[in-house]
Copies of this chain bind each other. A is one copy, B any other.
Amino acid sequence: MSAILVNNLPEQRMAFGEAPPSERKRVVIVGGGFAGLAAARALRHADADVLVIDRRNHHIFQPLLYQVATAVLSPAEIAAPIRQLEAKQRNASVVLAEVTGVDIASRTIEAFAPGVGVRKIAFDYLVVATGMRPSYFGHDEFAQFAPGLKSLSDAETIRTKILSAFELAATTEDESERTRQMTFVLVGAGPTGVELAASLAQMAKVTLRGNFRRIDPAKASIILLDAGERVLPAFAERLSRRVTKHLEELGVKVLTGVKVETVDEQGVVAGGSRIPSATVLWTAGVAASPLAKMLGPKTDHAGRALVDPFLKVANAPGVFVVGDAASVMQDGRAVPGVAQAAIQQGRYVGRLIAKELKGRELRRPFRYFDRGNMAVVGKNYAVLERGWLRTSGFLTFLVWAIVHILSLPQLQNRLRVQRQWLWSYFTGQRSSRLIPEPPRMPNG
């Protein structure tokens, strides 16, 4: 990806074969995630053309991505076509393209669409909502061995890795290889690492029970590693301890204060010793997508753009960063990179722009309202922290389930996820145990 603009292209007010230019202002929103779509929706009554650009055709409900990775849900169940925005919102249009550059001075972005090529697109307002991607802390060579979990294809890659490991464990004639195939290492004990580890443990113990005659899937070792002091560092210490205890009851080995030194084809080296493992999953660091950097403002250690309290980029009028790609400080603390914050930021910027379009000004800076933090640990157990309130257990699990069902993008998703959950809950079965491609042959 390059930030250099292709300057010999004609500057186009309208992108990619759109209708002739109107006199209206154009708001370009890059990214159809929580923040981007919230911004678009907040502009639905605005007198402007809203253009949403995403390199994927679907919005995903990221908080449940780990359940696609563990075969509980199918990819489509947590996804919705971004394009449906065109049917719902008269002033919005959607383009499937990858933004490759931005030029604040000329107020254009540069985007690549397959079959068309690279085009410059002019904007009056630009909302960057490109989110995060896995970060390997300078060790990009780990990526090929330890996939992160950010997209549906990541989730399918992980699902294939997990299911294939059990198959290979059953097929191999070598005892140490069998152990390696049945060892799963998750690097990073934040919410994704914890939820994935617990879900994987449940799958090995319950879903796969009786499905393998030659191995006992329940004997799989699931190891959750973190360099930090404790799991779920964003939660209170008491909840961390409870979660650790709960993970251990599920059979997950929790190793905190352990730094991963190497990830390779054979497994990981952590805390000085090698753990042979065929399935290493990266649930540790994330870094902002490169576009945040191209805006030119200062960025924090994770590449997030530092924005002012109005989510504006310094010296770039009309340019905003929202969601995970933005580094927003509030009361001396960073606003967390969670769905709630992304939605609130997107909505805020949408409203701010709508007001400016009417010639007015929004004086109130962005303020994150923390509705609480939740994480689920397997079946029947979740933790919740909201201000002074700290709860855990079965009731919290029910709250978690209800909140997540209600937050899903479309009615269709809500009905489907609810049914899949009830099914899995009562049968222990998982409905998406697919390894899509046949094993690769040595010569074709």
Top 3 nearest A-B pairs (CB, nearest first) are A55-B438, A87-B210, A114-B439
**Across the interface, do A17 and B213 meet the contact criterion of CB distance under 8 Å?**
no
Q: Which of A72-80, A230-238, A375-383 contacts B (4 or more CB under 8 A)?
A: A72-80
**Across the interface, do B439 and A97 meet the contact criterion of CB distance under 8 Å?**
yes
Chain B residue numbers with a CB within 8 Å of A95 are 170-171
Q: Return 5 A-B CB contacts under 8 Å, by A number.
A: A17-B178, A19-B213, A56-B438, A83-B212, A115-B181
Within 8 Å of chain B (Cβ to Cβ): is A98?
yes
Chain B residue numbers with a CB within 8 Å of A145 are none
Task: Pick the residue among B56, B115, B437 that contacts A177 (CB under 8 A).
Answer: B115
Within 8 Å of chain B (Cβ to Cβ): is A389?
no
Whether A211 touches B96, Cβ cut-off 8 Å, given contacts A57-B433, A76-B434, A416-B431, is: no
Using CB atoms, name the residue of chain B closest to A413: B431
Within 8 Å of chain B (Cβ to Cβ): is A396?
no
Closest beta carbon of chain B to A241's beta carbon, Å: 37
Instruction: Type the 1/0 row for A404-427, where 1 means its CB is closer than 8 Å to any CB of B.
Output: 000000001001100100010001
Closest beta carbon of chain B to A154's beta carbon, Å: 10
**Across the interface, do A98 and B439 meet the contact criterion of CB distance under 8 Å?**
yes
**Across the interface, do B439 and A96 meet the contact criterion of CB distance under 8 Å?**
yes
Within 8 Å of chain B (Cβ to Cβ): is A139?
no
Within 8 Å of chain B (Cβ to Cβ): is A16?
yes
Chain B residue numbers with a CB within 8 Å of A79 are 434
Chain B residue numbers with a CB within 8 Å of A168 are 113-116
**Across the interface, do A412 and B429 meet the contact criterion of CB distance under 8 Å?**
yes
Within 8 Å of chain B (Cβ to Cβ): is A112?
yes
For window 1-56 of A, CB contacts with B under 8 Å fall at: 1, 16-19, 55-56
Chain B residue numbers with a CB within 8 Å of A152 are 434, 436
Whole-angstrom distance between the alpha carbons of A181 and B433 in the complex? 34
Within 8 Å of chain B (Cβ to Cβ): is A432?
yes
**Across the interface, do A212 and B86 meet the contact criterion of CB distance under 8 Å?**
yes
Using CB atoms, name the residue of chain B closest to A100: B441
Whether A96 touches B436, Cβ cut-off 8 Å, given contacts A84-B211, A172-B17, A211-B81, is: no
Using CB atoms, name the residue of chain B closest to A75: B434
Whole-angstrom distance between the alpha carbons of A438 and B79 in the complex? 15
Chain B residue numbers with a CB within 8 Å of A419 are 415-416, 419
**Across the interface, do B97 and A433 meet the contact criterion of CB distance under 8 Å?**
no
**Across the interface, do A98 and B438 meet the contact criterion of CB distance under 8 Å?**
yes
Whether A57 touches B435, Cβ cut-off 8 Å, given contacts A419-B419, A441-B98, is: yes
- A19-B214, A86-B210 known; 20 new pairs, CB 8 Å cut-off, are A16-B171, A16-B172, A58-B434, A74-B77, A74-B432, A76-B432, A81-B211, A83-B433, A86-B212, A87-B211, A93-B213, A98-B439, A112-B441, A113-B439, A114-B440, A115-B171, A116-B171, A153-B437, A412-B423, A412-B427
**Across the interface, do B441 and A97 meet the contact criterion of CB distance under 8 Å?**
no
Whole-angstrom distance between the alpha carbons of A345 and B156 in the complex? 35
Within 8 Å of chain B (Cβ to Cβ): is A173?
yes
Within 8 Å of chain B (Cβ to Cβ): is A442?
yes
Within 8 Å of chain B (Cβ to Cβ): is A385?
no
Chain B residue numbers with a CB within 8 Å of A117 are 442
Whether A167 touches B96, Cβ cut-off 8 Å, given contacts A74-B75, A79-B434, A81-B433, is: yes
Chain B residue numbers with a CB within 8 Å of A314 are none
Chain B residue numbers with a CB within 8 Å of A164 are 114
Using CB atoms, name the residue of chain B closest to A215: B17
Within 8 Å of chain B (Cβ to Cβ): is A275?
no
Whole-angstrom distance between the alpha carbons of A114 and B439 in the complex? 6
Whole-angstrom distance between the alpha carbons of A439 and B168 in the complex? 32
For window 204-236 of A, CB contacts with B under 8 Å fall at: 209-214
Closest beta carbon of chain B to A4's beta carbon, Å: 12
Instruction: Type the 1/0 row for A94-125, where 1 means its CB is closer than 8 Å to any CB of B.
Output: 01111010000000000011111110000000
Within 8 Å of chain B (Cβ to Cβ): is A163?
yes
Q: Point out which of A17, A95, A113, A412 has the most chain B C-beta atoms below 10 A from its C-beta.
A: A17
**Across the interface, do A435 and B56 meet the contact criterion of CB distance under 8 Å?**
yes
Whole-angstrom distance between the alpha carbons of A1 and B440 in the complex? 12
Chain B residue numbers with a CB within 8 Å of A17 are 170-173, 178, 214
